[in-house]
Amino acid sequence: MLLSHGRVLEVGCGSGTACLVMGRAFPNSTFLGIDIDQTSIDRARAKQNTPGMPVAPLEDVPAAGEGDAADDRPSEPFSSGDGAVWITEFRDVRNVTFECRPTATLTQGQYDFVITVDVIHDCAKPVDVLNDIRAALAPNGIYLMMEPNCEAGRAKNIGPMYVLAALKALRGAWIRLTKKVR
């Protein structure tokens, strides 16, 4: 699906990283990230249209000639004020757009794949949002919802396990979506 002109929607895209990463990975598909927060959409657009974005501490990135990522390492590190970071540019990702709009404005039957990550539990009317998402899915479309498995205290909800669980779910979805449809 994503290898051959899929239409993807991320609801609650925030600053747009997931859409931009998917857009780079699947250049034949189109991606729309929506959010009801204009500041988030502005950040997503800025991330797509600026020289780069912070990704990892520079000391964690291999030096030139030391691994696969070394070829993509910029010659000048970007400083975010709290230390140098490695840059990944998204200026070349042109199959992604960002819009500030509610799910109620989505076109019915438009999307092959819809994703929400850590969004539904924050919605004022989650059932309405889920109904809008269902209506926006094309026939045989797929909806992937990832919600955190939270502990009572914030300290227990921070760390790599949450990220790993999300990446594992995305990997499984991507494998299914990239298989050729017979």
CATH code of the domain covering residue 132: 3.40.50.150
Lowest mean pLDDT across 21-25, 64-68, 176-180? 64-68
pTM above threshold 0.75 = no
Number of domains in the chain: 2
Number of CB atoms found within 10 A of residue 69's CB? 14
Q: How much is the average pLDDT of 140-161?
A: 70
88, 109, 136 - which closes a domain: 88
Indicate whether 77 and 153 sit together in one domain.
no
Domain around 74: 53-88
Confidence check: pLDDT of 112 > 50: yes
Name the H helices within 50-144: 126-136
Same domain, 115 and 149: yes
Residue 96, SS3 per DSSP: strand
Residues 104 and 172 in one domain: yes
Q: Do 122 and 165 belong together in one domain?
A: yes
pLDDT of amino acid 51: 64
